[in-house]
Amino acid sequence: YQVVYHLRTQPLVSVVVPNKDHPEMLARCVESLAKSSYANFELLVVENGSTKPETFALYDKLRAMPHVRVLEWAKPFNYAAVNNFAAQAARGDLLLFLNNDVEAINPDWLEALVKQAVQPGVGAVG
């Protein structure tokens, strides 16, 4: 059996993606997010020490998108600290911590997570 919940509202989801170079992986991740059936999200890419010109060219393209922000992390890498930094800048009601190598294969994946996350008593979904 599978319970399917219906959303009464569509809360804003802040998607946090730390990134250091690997522009090809980040581009795939962003493209799969754009194909999601759930449209109410913002993307926060956290730059942390990239050196490749291709990475910064991708950031320029991403900055042109209205729902994307590229944040700069200038301290030594610490996964938890990077995510907490982005969470402070997030505007969403829900936080999604996503690796830059994630590529969604189903368009309803984000909607499915949100449907679970908004249930009373739920603190985290995965």
Residue 101 has pLDDT above 90, yes or no: yes
pTM: 0.94
State the average pLDDT for the chain. Answer: 96
pLDDT of 117: 96
Residue 2 has pLDDT above 90, yes or no: no
pLDDT, mean of residues 44-51: 97
SS3 71: strand
At 59, the pLDDT band (50, 70, 90 cuts) reads: very high
Q: Is 18 left (phi over 0), alpha (psi -120 to 50) or beta?
A: beta
Residue 45 has pLDDT above 90, yes or no: yes
Q: How many other CB atoms sit within 10 Å of the CB of residue 126?
A: 7
